[in-house]
Amino acid sequence: MFRPSKNSSRSLRVPRVLRTVFLVLLALVLLPYLLTPLYAVIDPPSTLTIWRRVTGERVEQTWVPLSRISPHLQLAVIVAEDGRFCTHYGIDLAEIQDAIQDADNLDDVRGGSTITQQVAKNLFLWPGRSLVRKALEAPLALWIDLVLSKRRILEIYLNVAEMGPQGEFGAEAGARRAFGRSARDLTSYQAALLAASLPNPVTRNAARPGPGLRRLAGLYVGRAAHAPGLASCVRAGR
């Protein structure tokens, strides 16, 4: 009776292991696409808040609907982060092209990240600037834009974005820490300060802004006053 040798048994196990690894990776890649439609009605956590809670770090977050976030902040964030938010389909090809042209090589590419891409990163991916993350982020952003409304995308972003230096996430926690008031009561200048701090709220302190942050906030106030239509898709509920 023929019995397989030990070597042949090992060779059979290797493809089985590879197949299992492949299926696990495929499931991880597909999971965000399955979860995204649910987030039209379910308030999602971000990967960073999950990680901070698991590791025992501080998280302060109060989820609020967009109707309870100042229109000043909604517009300021669009002005600061994604001026073509209402017209693109999740990724801004013009911004990406400009970012590539301004970089010496692909490893130096910066910018070009839309609000929708940041939502994809915050909900499903990890921080950093690797090309692998960007490659996963772009199709996810297109999918998010397809299945969620612009209003819902901005609502999610304003509730999961890091907005304070001590574990404050979302507009409500960020506004209360920086200004001692609710997100719905922010003035145009306070909203602009929060928007200007978004790239790195740990070093850009909206509560005690330096000259650079104040200048940037003033610039956003001016742009918002001259371009209120940048948030038209959010106000229309599209």
Question: How far apart, in whole angstroms, are the C-alpha atoms of residue 186 and residue 178?
Answer: 11
Cα 141 to Cα 17: distance, rounded to the nearest angstrom: 32
Please check whether residue 55 lies inside any domain of the structure: yes
Domain ranges, residue 128: 30-59+71-235
**What would the pLDDT profile of 171-207 be if each residue is shown by its tens digit?**
999 999 999 999 999 999 999 999 999 989 999 999 9
Q: What is the pLDDT of residue 18?
A: 82
Contact of 223 with 187, CB cutoff 8 Å: no
| Cβ neighbours for 146, distance < 8 A, ≥ 6 positions apart | 89, 90
Task: Tell me the per-residue pLDDT of 91-128, one tens digit each, with 9 for 90 and over.
Answer: 998 776 665 554 444 444 445 689 999 999 999 998 87
Residue 199 lies in a domain: yes
Average pLDDT (72-85) is: 96
Q: Which two tokens stand for residue 33?
A: 């696409």
Task: Kindly state whether residue 66 falls inside one of the protein's structural domains.
Answer: no
User: What are the angstrom distances between the C-alpha of 125 and each of 165, 196, 237?
Assistant: 21, 23, 27
Range scoring the smallest mean pLDDT among 104-113, 148-157, 162-171, 222-231: 104-113
Q: Which amino acid is at 83?
A: G
Q: What is the CATH number of the domain that holds 170?
A: 1.10.3810.10
Neighbouring residues of 133: CB distance < 8 A, sequence distance ≥ 6: 121, 125, 126
Whether residue 18 lies inside any domain: the answer is no
Q: What's the domain count of the chain?
A: 1
Is 162 a residue whose pLDDT tops 90? yes
Residue 13 domain-assigned (yes or no): no
Distance CA(204)–CA(46), nearest Å, equals 21
Map tokens 């001692």 to a residue.
180
Please compute the mean of the pLDDT values over residues 31-42 and round it to a whole number: 96
**Angle, CA of 75, 46 and 91, to the nearest 5°:** 50
Q: What is the pLDDT of residues 134-146, one digit of tens each?
A: 899 999 999 999 9
Task: Say if 21 falls within a structural domain.
Answer: no
How far is 143 from 10, CA to CA, in rounded Å?
41
Q: Is residue 38 part of a domain?
A: yes
CA distance 217 to 81: 13
Whose CA is closest to 175, among 191, 162, 154, 160? 191
- Which amino acid would we find at residue 175? A
Q: Is residue 1 part of a domain?
A: no
